[in-house]
Structure 1
Amino acid sequence: MKYAVVTGTSKGLGASIARLLMEASVNVIGLARSKNQALENADLPGSYQHYQVDLANIEQTEKTFFKIINFLKEQPIDSLQLVQNAALVSPIEQVGKQTTEQLTSHVHVNLLAPMVITNLWLEAWRDRDIPLVLVNITSGAAKRSVYGWNAYGSTKAGLDRYTDTVALEQEKLETNNKIFLFDPSIMDTDMQGEIRSADPSQFVDVEQFKNYKTEDKLRNTDVVANVLVKRLLNESSIKNGDYYSVKDVF
């Protein structure tokens, strides 16, 4: 059986990825703070199982993944994938005007949780003959500095370097595991709405992002998810350590 674990499935890109995988007969385990009744009630070839978790809470995240791993070890598995999609863009603000609580939650969700989860994941399946596929969702903000996105750009850059390093280690260890980055570019999501609501004093490029919406330049999450899911369904096409962007297609 084919299984995929996807974080951030309550809405947006994560929900689209989960549904498209289910349509392709993949059994999806989704994680988010809120449930997604549409996925849970969907009559599709692949099943959906939800775990409610706040990825900012690392202890809770670790316990949740132990439960998921224990469940999966009881299943007959032919393919196992991990899609780490969940992320925060807030706080959108200058350095010097942020709270420690905001920064802690941000770093936990965007960087520490993916590191902890990857560590648990690779350890859990070390002795199983199951080639793993892991994908971390990145952003163009990882490669350039954006006023007001000091936390977001930094954590995405950290995630990129972490992913590259894990790929290097897996290659040297000759595990046959693959990990890669996927850049979805700009999409029509709640995160974009949050960005557009920022004050210019917090985010100087806010007008540009408002124009993306009014000029219909934001891609639908289903369109973006389809690009990634097509790659996930063709595991032989995945290159360990690759950087794959929706812009490679559009």
Structure 2
Amino acid sequence: MAYAIITGASKGLGAATAKQLLSEGVNIISVSRSENEELKKQAEVDNGKYQHYTCNLGSSSEVQSVFKEMADTVFGKEKEVVYLINNAGMVDPIETAGRLDAEGTEANVNVNLLAPMIISNLFLEKVENSDARLVIANVSSGAGSRPIQGWSVYCSTKAGINMFTQTVALELENRSSKHRVFAFSPGIMDTDMQSTIRSSSKSAFNDIETFKKYKEEGMLRDAETVAGALVKVLKSNDIENGKIYQINALL
């Protein structure tokens, strides 16, 4: 029996990944502020096991409460494998340092970095009392390895999730654990995040014209294609602990 817990499963990569795993018989737990009705209907048609949790990932207290309950449920019975996919993310605030909104900066750090750290920690703790194998996938970005004007917060949180992934992997390797953790860099996709990027100002984001061109010239990958690559890594028997998998190397 396999379970997949997916944050940000209401749209984009999260929804596409949930649909593919559901079609392969994996039990899905969706986590987001709003529920994806299409995913719910697919579960009914496929007779798949599906559950939705509403959670504000920007609130660390809410994250701890919701995911503790979830972990108790998931690891309460014998499971073959549990996939934890920390997918939810936000690119705002897009602005240069000195003009950043404090509340927006806090929300970005909480959603992109703090929530995945708290959730991963909870699940690694709970899995120790279970026979399940845990596979954690942290969705990263190319922005985590290079500076981009206007994206200081986003770049920093994605660099942070990369380092968190690599450090946890080292710890797992040092104790010869069967559990795995990796990061996944999905490249540029045709999602709401890209719409947010294109709606920013030139003064805040120098590369805005380049990102508009991606859309105009059809250079954005669809979420379904990217989800297929992520699922392929998730279900592989040869996951390299701590690796940051790049979408271009998988397609």
- Shorter-chain TM band: over 0.9
The residue correspondences of 1:1-250 to structure 2 (distance < 5 A) are 1-42=1-42, 43-44=45-46, 46-234=48-236, 236-250=237-251
CA distances 1:46-90 after superposition (whole Å, capped 9, x unpaired): 322110111001101111001111221334411111000000100
| Residue pair 1:24, 1:45 contacting (<8 A) in 2 also | no
Tell me the SS of whatever aligns to 1:133: strand
- Matched pairs, number: 249
Separation in 1 of the partners of 2:143 and 2:234? 24
The residue matched to 2:241 in structure 1 has which SS? coil
Amino acid at match of 1:29: I
When residues 24 and 102 of structure 1 are mapped into structure 2, their CA distance, relative to the original with a 3 A threshold, is same
Cα root mean square deviation, aligned: 1.1
Contact conserved, 1:21 with 1:46, CA < 8 A, in 2?
no
Unaligned runs of 5+ in 2: none
After superposition, the C-alpha distances for 1:172-221 in whole angstroms (9 at most, x for unaligned) are 01121110011100000000000001110110100000000011000000
Greater displacement, 182-191 / 73-82: 73-82
Equivalent residues of 2:97, 2:152 under 8 A apart = yes
CA distance in 1, matches of 2:58, 2:17: 22
Aligned residue type for 1:39: L
TM-score between the two structures when normalised by the length of structure 1: 0.97
Shift of 1:44: 2.2
What CA distance in whole angstroms lies between the structure 1 residues aligned with 2:170 and 2:250? Answer: 26
Letter in 2 for 1:27: N
Aligned to 1:83, the other structure's residue is in SS state: strand
Q: For structure 1, which segment, 16-25 or 66-75, has the greater mean C-alpha deviation from structure 2 after superposition? A: 66-75
Distance 1:249 1:127 in 2: 34
Give, in whole Å, the separation in 1 of the partners of 2:232 and 2:161. 23
Checking the alignment, whether the CA contact within 8 Å between 1:25 and 1:45 is kept in structure 2 is no
Contact 2:84-2:136 at 8 Å conserved across structures: yes
Instruction: Map Cα deviations across residues 159-181 of structure 1 (whole Å, 9 max, x no partner).
Output: 10010000000000112111001
Structure 1: runs of 5 or more not aligned = none
Contact 1:23–1:45 (8 Å) recurs in 2:
no
C-alpha deviation, 1:231, in angstroms:
2.0
Matched-pair contact (CA < 8 Å) for 1:6–1:29: yes
The structural deviation recorded for 1:45 is 5.2
Q: For 1:70, what is the secondary structure of its paired residue? A: helix
